[in-house]
Structure 1
Amino acid sequence: MNLTILGCYAATPRTFTNPTSQVLEIKNRLFLIDCGEGTQVQLRKNKIRFSRINHVFISHLHGDHFFGLVGLVSTFMLLNRITDLHIYGPKGIKEIINLQLRLSNSWPNYGLLFHELESKESEIVFEDDKVIVKTIPLKHRVYTNGFLFQEKVGDRKLDMNAVQNYEIDKCYYQKIKNGKDIILDDGRVIENHKLTFDPIPVKSYAFCSDTVYDESIIPYIKEVDVLYHESTFLDSEEVLAGKTMHSTAKEAATIALKANVKQLIMGHYSTRYDSIELFKEQAETIFPNILLADDGKSFEF
């Protein structure tokens, strides 16, 4: 599981910082999460192939999380894209993008498929044979969702020494990997656990930005491998965090601690501070396993 941070700063883009956008690679699927201004430039800088992006998840309709989307949609058209592009986001995202495309006479020559979200409960928005994606209802000034990406449990792994010892024909290998017991020609039943090893443990990633401190999300992110949680402010701006419905570094760490996640990544920093290291210093007083997002940084889990 790989995460590339394209942008992780709040509000407006600057010459050396970018608003929220990131790419998650999981089970050989590539998902774009949020699409602030400058996303396609950051994709190029980080050498991420545009053609691999087939699913875009937009958390909410504040500009620093989606103003780069129509530009990306248009660039895909100029690159002669033919593969469908799926966009998941709050109700209204289809109207916004289609209006810009219509007034600029820039209709794409590929399928542009919108999946508009309205539910205030967690729901499955994407699923295939390898990955499932669910929404995480967040509390912000507008309707907002986080997203939980989970690998599905794979096949069990063959213990080739055991399989060969019982002289089991190859035609039964897939059945064994699917967890089935095997009946030999002499009538003996060989239990599956004697022929296989457990599958590779699955990984999970939760994206939570933007949101006020909200313990109601804990059941959705319980024990995830990696949690990205916004940490817009330091303690000195705790009151402002409440007013703007954002979180502080310590509040992000508290959520990580109570959800018993393995790793916390902090981001969505206010640009009022001189160093993002201050966020880590405050958060580590509560939760130890902290990584700081920064533009262009990649993480492998």
Structure 2
Amino acid sequence: MKLQILGCYAATPRTITNPTSQVLDIKNHMFLIDCGEGTQVQLRKHKIKFSRINHIFISHLHGDHFYGLIGLISTFMLLNRENDLHVYGPKGIKEIILLQLRASGSFTGYNLYFHELESTASEVIFEDETVMVKTIPLNHRVYTNGFLFQEKLGKRHLNVEAVAKYKIEKVYFDKIKSGGNVTLDSGEVIANELLSFPPDAPMSYAFCSDTLYDEAIVPIIKDVDVLYHESTFLDSEMQYTEKTKHATAKEAAKIAKLANVKQLILGHYSTRYGSIEPFKTEAQTIFKNVLLADDGKEFEF
């Protein structure tokens, strides 16, 4: 599982920072999460293949999280994209994007699907044989969702030495990986446990931005491998959290601790601060496994 941060700062783009956007590479899927201004420039800068992005998840309709979407959709058109593109986001996103396309006399040569979200409860919005994506209802000034990405349990690993020992033919390999036993010509049944190793443990990633501190999300993100949680403010600006519906680094750490996550990544920093290091320092007073997101930073798990 690989996470590429394209932008992780709040409010407006600057010459040295970008608003929220990130790419999650999981089980051969490349998911784009939020699409702030400048996202496609960042995709090019970090040599991420546009053609691999087939699903875009928009958390909410504040500009720093989706103003880059119409530009990206238009660029896909200019690149003669053929693959379907699916956009998941709050109700209203379809109207906003189609209005811009109509007003500019533009069209897409590919199928563009909108999956508009309205539920205030967690729901599955994408699922295939390898990955499932659920919403994480967040507490912000407008309707907002985070997203939980969960790998499904994969196939078992072939024990090459055991397969050679029992002289098992390749035609049975897929059956073995799927958990099946093998019956030899002699009639002897070889148990799957002797022929394979357990599958890799499924990974999970929770994206939570933007939100007020809210323990209601804890049951949804319980025990995830990696949690990205907004940390707009330091403790010294705690007085702004209620009005803006944002959280502090310490509050993000409290959520991580309550949810028993393995790793916390902080992001969505207010640009009022000269350094992001204090965010990590404050969060680690509550939860030790803290990483700092930053534009262009890549994490592998």
Fold match, TM over 0.5? yes
The CA deviation at 1:138 is: 1.0
Per-residue deviation, residues 65-97 of structure 1 (Å, max 9, x unmatched) = 001100111111111112111100011000000
Distance (whole Å) between structure 2 residues aligned to residue 79 and residue 161 of structure 1: 48
Q: 1:18 is aligned with what amino acid?
A: N
What corresponds to 1:95 in structure 2?
A: 95
**Is residue 59 from structure 1 mapped to residue 51 from structure 2 by the alignment?**
no
The CA deviation at 1:28 is: 1.9
Q: 1:50 is aligned with what amino acid?
A: F
What corresponds to 1:48 in structure 2?
A: 48
Give SS of 1:122's match. Answer: coil
Q: 1:60 is aligned with what amino acid?
A: H
Deviates more, 1:59-68 or 1:160-169: 160-169
Give SS of 1:54's match. Answer: strand
What corresponds to 2:35 in structure 1?
A: 35
Gaps of 5+ in 2: none
The CA deviation at 1:33 is: 0.4
Structure 1 length-normalised TM? 0.97
Alignment of 1:68-79 (within 5 A): 68-79=68-79
Q: 1:193 is aligned with what amino acid?
A: E
Q: 1:166 is aligned with what amino acid?
A: Y
The CA deviation at 1:181 is: 2.1
% identical aligned pairs: 72
Deviates more, 1:82-91 or 1:160-169: 160-169
Per-residue deviation, residues 114-170 of structure 1 (Å, max 9, x unmatched) = 011111111111112221111111111111111111111111111122223233332
- The number of residue pairs the alignment matches comes to 301
Q: CA RMSD in A?
A: 1.2
Per-residue deviation, residues 255-274 of structure 1 (Å, max 9, x unmatched) = 11111111111000011111
Per-residue deviation, residues 234-256 of structure 1 (Å, max 9, x unmatched) = 11111211221111000000111
Q: 1:124 is aligned with what amino acid?
A: V
Structure 2 length-normalised TM? 0.97
Distance (whole Å) between structure 2 residues aligned to residue 277 and residue 106 of structure 1: 44
Distance (whole Å) between structure 2 residues aligned to residue 23 and residue 228 of structure 1: 12
Give SS of 2:48's match. Answer: coil
What corresponds to 2:282 in structure 1?
A: 282
Alignment of 1:119-268 (within 5 A): 119-268=119-268
Deviates more, 1:165-174 or 1:212-221: 165-174
Distance (whole Å) between structure 2 residues aligned to residue 155 and residue 250 of structure 1: 39
Distance (whole Å) between structure 2 residues aligned to residue 167 and residue 75 of structure 1: 54
The CA deviation at 1:186 is: 3.6
Per-residue deviation, residues 14-45 of structure 1 (Å, max 9, x unmatched) = 11111100111112211110001111111111
Q: 1:78 is aligned with what amino acid?
A: L
**Is residue 111 from structure 1 mapped to residue 111 from structure 2 by the alignment?**
yes
Distance (whole Å) between structure 2 residues aligned to residue 72 and residue 183 of structure 1: 54
Distance (whole Å) between structure 2 residues aligned to residue 202 and residue 130 of structure 1: 10
